[in-house]
Chains A and B, each alone.
Chain A
């Protein structure tokens, strides 16, 4: 390996410091550090924001990404688009989860004619790129103009911004609000005569609770619920084998979305929105 990464906080051996350096560091150096270094709250927020920016790809991931892009741009046949989608999957399998990669993979599946897989990729990209208009347009195209799932419940009215803010952004927002509330509460404890601090702290609690609840909804939706998309026309059955009767009068088409209820013997017990449940073979769908 020719490229060596520098540790983020490298230390010099103690023997390399002279007494003069130490003296200067302990006296004037402390003063200078106090004058130049930002306040702790700024540092805290910087750390929070930076933690939400996501990590940059390493060299191998960048190379794979560019390779996938090249295959995609040169592709003329569905098989070549499938190859591009496979390279994108390789990036994802390496643990590098990115909305851009999901989006591009969805495009590759779309160009390959794999609408169901494209929908699955777009849905996952939505978690990371909730406000990307191109992603929204392509997902609508993949869904062939059908309505995107909407709730309509009271909670959806309260959390109208739920789909406009990503999971990561909600976590950052919640953390910032929590820090603000704690700092305000602490400030009030130090100076109890400032009632305004107390009121602001209580006021901060409202968005904090809403934000935390939104995080909980996302956690429930993304980490506790397994979803899936039908990738080949198939028939949902009432049990986990082909011997069971069909669950619906119609077959399931490519791109039909569902929630996974249970998994048994390579058969998935799926709940289809506003329709019912049925069992489908895991080979006819992808889950995420």
Chain B
């Protein structure tokens, strides 16, 4: 029964437990399911991302443009993990300039009401500037890109390039001072903008002052440093070129006299100086030109110039230059009629070619420009076989980076007397230095010969050879090594290259902590040792002495003789009034015991004669002997009543005798 009740209670209590456990399990399952769903979503998103096929997207900012204008061409590779630059084949009708690339990889996670969404993008974008080289309707070819072994082909884009209308209102002419140059040979690119003179009574007015608030626009790539072909170095920066050309005429409703160039306006750093749209007005001249009908037409010509210097050889393209805007052409009923004009100057090229092979000397270093060369040798005094350092320094203006180290081993005077090694190169400010290691081969050499170096002089367009000055040297015979001088050298390990120099001395000890006086006084040490030995000797002697004294029983007896006698005397005093016999015996023992202890014999049976004999044996005074014998005899007599002295008198005599006897025996024994 009790068991049933207990079981019932247990079961009732178990309902609550089970209910709570189920609830916890439900929460756990719900949490687990949520986590699984999130993971599945993430996996699904990843799968979706992974499942998206790589694609190539091609875009242009416009499909209609004038000849000479450029469009922005953008290629985007989507869903690509490892992008590769696309290939632009068949773009012969375009001048292609890369404007850079950028990654489009991104990952965006959004959680709204507990719902988590994730967007992953993988992509890469390539930007180009395309400039059609001809007019007409044609397609931009499809670009291709190879991604993970798969070739992606983009779409073709049709564009229309409008040729400029045949007109004679605005004429653009671009030319170079030299079509072929050498590196470091400067040339000038000039642009002439010829604008037809305004008609009739307006002829004296500038043709660029009638556009109101919308001046004509000129696009000149080579006036923008960012668009200057690489390898060219402009003599003057673009802002220094354009700043003197800023139009001085006032703006306002009537507008300014001049033209806008390369969109230099408020957005450019250049506008900081003026605070408004920049209008430029180059120097102008009035001329006349003959048109196709043979008519003489007056023009106003504006000229832009810029000087460039090629740093390397190559072909450099300038242009095209375009100009568009409203130009005044007719005057009817007192009003000036305008015409929208678009003019183009086709691109020109300048070729910078390498130094000509004709007449090139063997000592040509590759340098183009104007240079001079100096040489130094260190040391100038050495033995045969010693290494000498030859430094050739070439400095000047030109293609220093192209200058190669001269082959000094090809110089007969050098190879005859010196062994040469490869040079090391270093570039410094406007100079290039080559360092050679040379070793003299003989003592006959008196100087290091001149080293010729040739360069191409672009001013005279001819090769020029300059030479270093000969350097006097003093070479003596090398010391002959004996067998004992030759030491073995470790053959392996990088450290075997290091050899310890035996020359020179090591540095001073400059730390004050190391500065200690360490003079030696041997006498002081000897005294210390002597003191130690003395201490040891005395200690040992004392120890032996102490041991000897404390280990011999006879000696101990002798040392305690006086105290024993004193004890006997005290005993005699105790028995002085009560027991005469014991008192007399104690006094007798005090005297005989004292003598016996000092003589290391037994006191038993010692008579007065024996005592006197012992004292005599140790050399005591005769009076002391007699006195002792007399006292002992008196004691014997008193024991039998044969003396008149009382016990107290005898005790006094005994005390005196013991004291005197003790001193005498201590002295004798």
A197: shortest Cβ distance to chain B, in Å?
14
| A97 CB-CB contact with B under 8 Å | yes
In the bound complex, do residue A97 and residue B505 qualify as a contact, i.e. CB atoms below 8 Å apart? no
C-alpha spacing A113/B512, complex, angstroms: 26
Using A66-B512, A189-B543 as known contacts, say yes or no to A182 and B533 having CB atoms under 8 A apart. Answer: yes
| B91 CB-CB contact with A under 8 Å | no
| A171 CB-CB contact with B under 8 Å | yes
In the bound complex, do residue A100 and residue B516 qualify as a contact, i.e. CB atoms below 8 Å apart? yes
Which chain B residues border A100 with CB–CB below 8 Å?
A: 509, 514-516
In the bound complex, do residue A97 and residue B518 qualify as a contact, i.e. CB atoms below 8 Å apart? yes
In the bound complex, do residue A98 and residue B536 qualify as a contact, i.e. CB atoms below 8 Å apart? no
Residues 498 to 519 of chain B near chain A (Cβ within 8 Å): 502-510, 512, 514-519
In the bound complex, do residue A186 and residue B502 qualify as a contact, i.e. CB atoms below 8 Å apart? no
- Interface residue SS majority, chain A: helix
Using A110-B505, A111-B505, A182-B532 as known contacts, say yes or no to A69 and B510 having CB atoms under 8 A apart. Answer: yes
Q: Choose, from A19-27, A134-142, A148-156, the stretch at the interface.
A: A134-142
Using A168-B520, A186-B540, A190-B543 as known contacts, say yes or no to A101 and B505 having CB atoms under 8 A apart. Answer: no
In the bound complex, do residue A65 and residue B505 qualify as a contact, i.e. CB atoms below 8 Å apart? no
In the bound complex, do residue B502 and residue A145 qualify as a contact, i.e. CB atoms below 8 Å apart? yes
Using A97-B518, A171-B520 as known contacts, say yes or no to A62 and B512 having CB atoms under 8 A apart. Answer: yes
| B669 CB-CB contact with A under 8 Å | no
B197: shortest Cβ distance to chain A, in Å?
81
C-alpha spacing A128/B514, complex, angstroms: 12
In the bound complex, do residue A65 and residue B543 qualify as a contact, i.e. CB atoms below 8 Å apart? no
Which chain A residues border B512 with CB–CB below 8 Å?
A: 57, 62, 65-66
| B539 CB-CB contact with A under 8 Å | yes
Instruction: Identify the closest chain B residue to A128 (Cβ).
Output: B518
Measured as residues with beta carbon below 8 angstroms from the partner, the interface class of chain A is 35 or more
In the bound complex, do residue A185 and residue B536 qualify as a contact, i.e. CB atoms below 8 Å apart? yes
Which chain B residues border A138 with CB–CB below 8 Å?
A: 505-506
In the bound complex, do residue B518 and residue A168 qualify as a contact, i.e. CB atoms below 8 Å apart? yes
In the bound complex, do residue B508 and residue A72 qualify as a contact, i.e. CB atoms below 8 Å apart? yes
C-alpha spacing A111/B508, complex, angstroms: 11
C-alpha spacing A235/B332, complex, angstroms: 125
In the bound complex, do residue A95 and residue B519 qualify as a contact, i.e. CB atoms below 8 Å apart? yes
Using A182-B532, A186-B536, A189-B540 as known contacts, say yes or no to A141 and B505 having CB atoms under 8 A apart. Answer: yes
Using A53-B516, A65-B515 as known contacts, say yes or no to A103 and B532 having CB atoms under 8 A apart. Answer: no
Interface mask (B535-551 → A, CB under 8 Å = 1, otherwise 0)? 11001100100000000
Which chain B residues border A174 with CB–CB below 8 Å?
A: 525, 529
Which of A101, A168, A179, A186 is B539 in contact with, Cβ under 8 Å? A186
A67: shortest Cβ distance to chain B, in Å?
12
In the bound complex, do residue A98 and residue B515 qualify as a contact, i.e. CB atoms below 8 Å apart? yes
C-alpha spacing A97/B508, complex, angstroms: 16
C-alpha spacing A219/B526, complex, angstroms: 12
Which of A61, A66, A97 is B519 in contact with, Cβ under 8 Å? A97
B510: shortest Cβ distance to chain A, in Å?
5
Which chain B residues border A107 with CB–CB below 8 Å?
A: 505-508
Which chain A residues border B510 with CB–CB below 8 Å?
A: 69, 104
C-alpha spacing A54/B519, complex, angstroms: 8
B405: shortest Cβ distance to chain A, in Å?
37
C-alpha spacing A261/B510, complex, angstroms: 37
C-alpha spacing A179/B533, complex, angstroms: 9
C-alpha spacing A178/B529, complex, angstroms: 8
In the bound complex, do residue B529 and residue A175 qualify as a contact, i.e. CB atoms below 8 Å apart? yes
Which of B502, B519, B532 is A141 in contact with, Cβ under 8 Å? B502
Measured as residues with beta carbon below 8 angstroms from the partner, the interface class of chain B is 20 to 34
B275: shortest Cβ distance to chain A, in Å?
63
| A166 CB-CB contact with B under 8 Å | yes
Which chain A residues border B515 with CB–CB below 8 Å?
A: 56-57, 61-62, 65, 98, 100-101
Which chain A residues border B508 with CB–CB below 8 Å?
A: 69, 72, 103-104, 107
In the bound complex, do residue B522 and residue A219 qualify as a contact, i.e. CB atoms below 8 Å apart? yes
| B37 CB-CB contact with A under 8 Å | no
Using A66-B512, A175-B525, A182-B532 as known contacts, say yes or no to A166 and B505 having CB atoms under 8 A apart. Answer: no
Using A182-B532, A189-B543, A223-B522 as known contacts, say yes or no to A54 and B503 having CB atoms under 8 A apart. Answer: no
Which of B517, B520, B535 is A57 in contact with, Cβ under 8 Å? B517
Using A65-B512, A137-B506, A141-B504 as known contacts, say yes or no to A55 and B532 having CB atoms under 8 A apart. Answer: no
Interface mask (A38-60 → B, CB under 8 Å = 1, otherwise 0)? 00000000000000011111000
| A167 CB-CB contact with B under 8 Å | yes
B533: shortest Cβ distance to chain A, in Å?
7
| B236 CB-CB contact with A under 8 Å | no
| B478 CB-CB contact with A under 8 Å | no
Interface mask (B407-436 → A, CB under 8 Å = 1, otherwise 0)? 000000000000000000000000000000
C-alpha spacing A215/B523, complex, angstroms: 12
B262: shortest Cβ distance to chain A, in Å?
63
In the bound complex, do residue B503 and residue A141 qualify as a contact, i.e. CB atoms below 8 Å apart? yes
Which of A103, A141, A179 is B509 in contact with, Cβ under 8 Å? A103
| A99 CB-CB contact with B under 8 Å | yes
Which chain B residues border A98 with CB–CB below 8 Å?
A: 515-518
A87: shortest Cβ distance to chain B, in Å?
12
In the bound complex, do residue B532 and residue A179 qualify as a contact, i.e. CB atoms below 8 Å apart? yes
In the bound complex, do residue B517 and residue A55 qualify as a contact, i.e. CB atoms below 8 Å apart? yes
B529: shortest Cβ distance to chain A, in Å?
6
C-alpha spacing A103/B507, complex, angstroms: 10
Which of B518, B525, B528, B540 is A99 in contact with, Cβ under 8 Å? B518
Which chain B residues border A189 with CB–CB below 8 Å?
A: 540, 543
A121: shortest Cβ distance to chain B, in Å?
12
Which chain A residues border B529 with CB–CB below 8 Å?
A: 174-175, 178
C-alpha spacing A54/B337, complex, angstroms: 112
In the bound complex, do residue A175 and residue B528 qualify as a contact, i.e. CB atoms below 8 Å apart? yes
Instruction: Identify the closest chain B residue to A140 (Cβ).
Output: B502
C-alpha spacing A140/B529, complex, angstroms: 37
C-alpha spacing A175/B543, complex, angstroms: 24
In the bound complex, do residue A182 and residue B504 qualify as a contact, i.e. CB atoms below 8 Å apart? no
C-alpha spacing A17/B504, complex, angstroms: 65
Which of B504, B517, B535, B536 is A97 in contact with, Cβ under 8 Å? B517
Which chain A residues border B517 with CB–CB below 8 Å?
A: 54-57, 95-98
Instruction: Identify the closest chain B residue to A185 (Cβ).
Output: B536
In the bound complex, do residue B502 and residue A166 qualify as a contact, i.e. CB atoms below 8 Å apart? no
A82: shortest Cβ distance to chain B, in Å?
15
B358: shortest Cβ distance to chain A, in Å?
57
Which chain B residues border A96 with CB–CB below 8 Å?
A: 517
C-alpha spacing A229/B532, complex, angstroms: 40
Instruction: Identify the closest chain A residue to B539 (Cβ).
Output: A186
A213: shortest Cβ distance to chain B, in Å?
14
Which chain B residues border A168 with CB–CB below 8 Å?
A: 518, 520
Interface mask (B603-640 → A, CB under 8 Å = 1, otherwise 0)? 00000000000000000000000000000000000000
C-alpha spacing A226/B517, complex, angstroms: 21
Instruction: Identify the closest chain A residue to B512 (Cβ).
Output: A62
C-alpha spacing A147/B186, complex, angstroms: 71
Using A175-B528, A175-B529, A186-B536 as known contacts, say yes or no to A56 and B505 having CB atoms under 8 A apart. Answer: no
Contacts A/B (CB < 8 Å), 27 sampled: A53-B516, A54-B516, A54-B517, A55-B516, A56-B517, A57-B512, A57-B517, A69-B508, A98-B515, A100-B514, A104-B508, A104-B510, A107-B508, A110-B505, A128-B518, A138-B506, A140-B502, A145-B502, A168-B518, A168-B520, A175-B525, A175-B532, A179-B532, A182-B532, A182-B533, A182-B535, A186-B540
A-side interface residues toward B, CB under 8 Å?
A: 53-57, 61-62, 65-66, 69, 72, 95-101, 103-104, 107, 110-111, 128, 134, 137-138, 140-142, 145, 166-168, 171, 174-175, 178-179, 182, 185-186, 189-190, 215, 219, 222-223
B-side interface residues toward A, CB under 8 Å?
A: 502-510, 512, 514-520, 522, 525, 528-529, 532-533, 535-536, 539-540, 543
Q: A61-B515, A145-B502, A171-B525 are in contact. List 16 more A-B contacts (CB 8 A).
A: A55-B516, A57-B517, A100-B514, A103-B509, A107-B506, A111-B505, A140-B502, A141-B503, A171-B522, A174-B525, A178-B533, A182-B533, A186-B536, A186-B540, A189-B540, A223-B522
Which 9 A-B residue pairs are closest in the complex by CB-CB distance? A54-B516, A134-B506, A97-B519, A54-B518, A104-B508, A138-B505, A182-B536, A100-B509, A128-B518
